[in-house]
Amino acid sequence: MLEVRDLAVHYGAIRALRGISFDVAEGEIITLIGSNGAGKTTTLHAISNIIRKTAGSVIFDGNDISAVLPDRIVTLGLIQVPEGRRIFANLSVKDNLEMGAYVRKDRPAIRSDMDMVYGLFPRLKERVRQVAGTLSGGEQQMLAMGRALMSKPRLLLLDEPSMGLAPILVDEIFLIIKRINEAGTTILLVEQNAFKALGIASRGYILETGQVIKSGPAKSLMKDDAVKEAYLGGQNDY
For each of the domains in the chain, give its residue range(s) and CATH number, in order of start: 1-76+186-238 (3.40.50.300)
CA distance 167 to 133: 22
| Reported pTM | 0.92
For residue 160, CA distances in Å to 19, 40, 171, 172 come to 22, 9, 14, 14
Residue 103: per-residue pLDDT: 85
Write down the pLDDT at residue 165: 86
178: closest CA among 136, 221, 218, 232?
218
Cα–Cα distances in angstroms (integers) from residue 107 to residues 2, 49, 101, 110, 200, in the given order? 29, 28, 9, 5, 33
pLDDT at 233: 67
Given this model, what pLDDT does residue 238 score?
Answer: 35
pLDDT at 87: 93
- Distance of alpha carbon 124 from alpha carbon 109, whole angstroms: 19
Per the CB < 8 A criterion, the answer to whether 86 and 132 are in contact is no
Q: Are 87 and 147 in contact (CB under 8 A)?
A: yes
Distance (Å, rounded) from C-alpha 227 to C-alpha 87? 34
Where the chain has pLDDT below 70, the residues are 233-238
For 66, the enclosing helix (H) or strand (E) is none
